[in-house]
Structures are given as structure tokens and as C-alpha cells.
Amino acid sequence: MESSSLTSLPEETTEHQQHPQSLSAFASIPARPPTQSTPSQKYSPLDWLSYFDEEEDISIPESDDVFHVYKAGKEGPVVLCLHGGGYTGLSFSLSASLMKEKARVVAMDLRGHGKSIAENELDLSIETMCNDVVAVVKAMYGDSPPAIVLVGHSMGGSVAVHVAASKAISTLAGLIVIDVVEGTALASLIHMQKILSSRVQHFSSIEKAIEWSVKGGSLRNIESARVSIPPTLKYEGLSEKFLSSPVPKLLLLAGTDRLDRALTIGQMQGKFQMVVVKHTGHAIQEDVPDEFANLVLNFISRNRIGPRGVEIPGLRRPFQSQPLK
């Protein structure tokens, strides 16, 4: 072994051997403790590439609309994720990274959100947003889309239910709704972007909407609110649309207080699966991504949803014959 050209330092140095002029001014300072995250580091941004594999802009033919999507995974059915109001497709980042080994995750920035660009970003009506989702599926997969499981959070859940009810996606194989069962919406606020960003869009009852309008500060006269607010509301029938969808359904809730009469009866009749995810807030997919991902993948497995639709055990597609060499 060749000897090192570096000479070793003596383990101890006597006082008379030291050269004061060569000592560092910081010689007496103790070693720096292990680096700990500062508050700014704790809240520093993370790159979406750590969770999704790629992003893509989907241009809609015969329009100037361009919808931004994040994609993860290469195999399995497509889990098409629709975020809530004020969120973006990146709301599903952590969940996507956990699902992409068994499914293809596509998280879309809805109109007026994220990196998507629309001719009229103020038109956030349910009809327009449903058409957006269907148009994106058409632009991405043509006339032969793979099996699709629609997953919608809050506002996105409402959109997902309406898309499912329209039967516009022929290969829809499942519907998962996250923490949304509200039946009324503020119709007069649909086209008001600034107000939308700060106001509640859906209420479980007319009474709740009136209470919110007073407690939220928009109105101060309760009697006036009881007269003026009801006409601004429209009944969506979201629960009935959810129950009527012919595909397997999963409802994820942060609390059972959101169940209305129609859903309570439907749940008792076994028309859909319901899971109450405890110790979470409204954005279940962000608060507990591991549990959320497991629930979605178990839903896909239990309903035997494959890349091209429902796969029945015992019925396998024949293998394609390989040409002889």
C-alpha cells in the first residue's frame, strides 16, 4: 500500500509546540450542531415531478381552450381526478405517486384554475365544466378511451357526478366522490370569479345558505336574507344523480353529518359504498394520501376494473400469437 502524502496530526499538541499566529480566530467555537429545518425550509415549495411523471397541455379542437393535465403511471385503468374549487390538479400529487404503480392517474386543472386557459374563464357553470371534462377525454383518447374511474373532490365531485349522469364517457367504469353531497348552489354567483374565490358554492340546505350569508358578513339583516337568498339558489339534485349512475360508486366523507335523506336511504339499500375517513379535513386526498390511495386502488380491485373495462375472473383475452423467427 502506498503511503499517503498527507502527514497525520499528532493526537495531542503541547502548549509550547503551538504557534499562536496560526490559530484560527474561531478555534474555540464548538462544532455546529446538526442542521435543522428552519421555518422557511419547512414550508418551501416542492416540485410536482416528485409525484407525477409528466404534464401536458390538451388543446380542444375548434376552440382556444387549453387544459393542463398532470399524468402518472403507465398501466391500468385511468383514474381521472377533478379537484375542488380553488385547488388544482396538484391537489392529488401525493395520492398519484402512491397509485401510479397500479393505475394511470390523470389530474386535470379545471377551467379558471391552475395552468388551464379558457376563452371564458368566468363561465364555471356545471354544464360548461362537464363539457370540458368530456372534451379532454376525447382529445386525449379519441373514440376508444380506456376504462376510466372518475374521482372528484368537492366542486370536482359535483362535476364528476354530472359527467357520470350524462353517460358521455362510454368507458366510465367507476365513480368516486370526495366530501360533497350538497344539494343547492348559489346560481347567481356562477359567473363571478372574484366572489367565487372567497365564497361557498354549495350548501346542504337553504337554511344553511341563509345562515352563511348573514354570518359571513354579506348581509346583516336576517329577515331580508330570508327573502332575498332563496331565489339565488338552485337545487342540483346531486344525490339523485349520484345514485342513478349505473357504475360502481364510492363516497368518501370526512363526517356523516353531510348525508342527506336520499343518500342515507341509498346507503342502507347498498347502492354505493361509503367510507368515513376520520381525523381529516375537507381535502381527504391531501390530508391522508396513503389511506386515500389505498381506498381508490381497493375500489378498482374489488370491482375488477381493468385497463379496458370490467374484467371477469375466468375470462381472459387470448394472447396474441408471436410471429415465428
Active site residue 279: no
Contacts for 200-208: CB closer than 8 Å, 24+ residues apart: 201/85, 201/155, 202/154, 202/155, 202/158, 202/236, 203/233, 204/258, 204/260, 206/230, 206/233
Buried b (16+ CB within 10 A) or exposed e, 220-235: eeeeebeeebeeebee
The C-alpha cell of 93 is what?
A: 400529487
225: part of which helix (H) or strand (E)?
helix 222-228
Active site residue 179: yes
Q: Within 13 A of 318's CA, how many CA atoms are on the CB side?
A: 3
Catalytic residue among 53, 166, 282, 287: 282
DSSP string, 132-192: HHHHHHHHHHTTS---EEEEEETHHHHHHHHHHHHT--TTEEEEEEES----EEEGGGTT-
End-to-end CA distance of the chain: 55
Of 247, 250, 257, the closest CA to residue 294 belongs to 250
Catalytic residue among 91, 93, 116, 154: 154
The C-alpha cell of 147 is what?
A: 376504462
Catalytic residue among 158, 179, 202, 245: 179
Question: Which DSSP category does 31 fall into?
Answer: P
Residue with cell 499538541: 13
C-alpha to C-alpha distance for 79 and 90, rounded to whole angstroms: 14
Question: Residue 167 carries which side chain, given as an amino acid letter?
Answer: K
Active site residue 153: no
So which residues are the catalytic ones? 154, 179, 282
